[in-house]
Copies of this chain bind each other. A is one copy, B any other.
Amino acid sequence: MKEAHGVRVVVLGAGFGGLTFCQAFRHPSATITLVDRTNHHLFQPLLYQVATAGLSAPEIAAPIRSIFSDRPDVTVLMDDVQSIDLDGRTVKLGHATLPYDYLVMALGGVTSYFGHPEWERHAPGLKSLDDAVRIRREVLLAFEQAENSTDPELRRELTSMVVVGGGPTGVELAGAFAELSRTVLARDFRRMDPTQAHVVLVEAGPRILGHLPESLSESARRQLEALGVEVLVNTKVRDLREREVEFENGRVLRAANILWAAGVGGSPLARQLGAELDRAGRVKVLSDLSLSGRPEVFAIGDMALVTGLDGRPVPGVSPAAMQMARHVASTISEELGSPGGRHAARTAFKYWDKGTMATIGRSAAVAKVGALELTGFPAWLAWLGVHLVFLIGFRNRAAVLLQWMYSYFAYKRGARIIFGNTSES
């Protein structure tokens, strides 16, 4: 098998970090084995668009194999990572055990319920295509059930949605759902009025999008409220039950759909490593992104805790993961090329903040690029532009653009299709 020849590089995870590493690293004497639980690379930033019926699942996913079909040095395995033996330098998968000379861990994170795993049943997170398609199905089904119901109480519950967490994902979900009910579904029902749908965005901190300047948080709140979203700040969740959320201030909301966008935790595998973790479960790495005492093992992306030049941790965003991936790729390349041999003095990773943005709805968004702060339509255009550029390499970029244009001008959402195991709901 290929990975038995030359320098064996094993990459765990085909997210932005793992994928970018494989694209950036290429060496005549090295072979790469890329392992992922799924068969596709997921364009995470648009996952909420699948959950809100704007895009279909395959439009934001690319088969990993086809991305590397022209790279005979890359072997792709769809398998689960069972455990990592750092001393033995092997990774145990469901179907095989892979020895490695270099290990690049890019396993991302998981939805964290802050010590309340039992809440997951009542408030799913949004991490995978399965999550997105399930959420879409549940929300659309709830509206159909509301149309079939004559009980106003039940209708209210069926058309209510609570999004927990005021970060970018929460803001994008709340905005998109409000828009879906206010504009897209508005004319489609005869008995109930979708514009009466109740969308609530809940944030524990003093403001939403806390990572952005206050002026942008404020603008985002105004834009959300203009869409009919009820924004609650300084509001902590005390308990989650079936179709019911209870806040610490005692208020109780009933809603058929409660979504969790509050916390990201580290990969469960990170705990096995014996490496130092932070509260969020991220692996503390050295400035070269390797594990302390393990120069052949790197952690990148959401699962890695790196401190930027400003002393603050590098945010868990895709540009950061891609920058880390390129840094590790050049580090390994240099070592394989240098006569000085392995693990010579390495350069430290530097994060370049390209800016951050969040979209709220049709021509509504906020963006910070360097010192520049954008809101409303200009921010939305910037957001659209950036995402389309990032989508390069996705065969369906044109189709995605087409869908957006359509949704934008026709006020419709193309992927409003209910399928999948509806008995679940």
Contacts and interface: CB of A to CB of B under 8 A. Distances in A.
Contact of A144 (B39, B58, B419, B420): B39
Instruction: Tell me how many chains of this kind the complex includes.
Output: 2
B190 A95 contact: no
B66 A416 contact: yes
Contacts of A189: 65
Contact of A402 (B72, B149, B398): B398
A133 interface: yes
Given A56-B57, A56-B58, A130-B420, 11 more contacts: A38-B419, A56-B56, A58-B417, A63-B188, A63-B417, A66-B188, A77-B148, A96-B148, A128-B419, A129-B419, A398-B402
A79 interface: yes
B39 A77 contact: no
A403 interface: yes
Interface string A291-331: 00000000000000000000000000000000000000000
A253 interface: no
Interface stretch (A166-174, A221-229, A406-414): A406-414
Interface of A: 1-2, 38-40, 56-59, 61, 63, 65-66, 69-70, 72, 75-79, 94-96, 128-130, 133, 140, 144, 147-149, 185, 187-191, 395-396, 398-399, 402-403, 406, 410, 412, 414-421
A129 B185 CA distance: 22
Interface centre among A65, A78, A420 (most CB of B within 10 A): A65
Given A189-B65, A190-B75, A419-B128, A399 B403 contact: yes
A395 B406 contact: yes
A4 to B, nearest CB: 12
A12 to B, nearest CB: 16
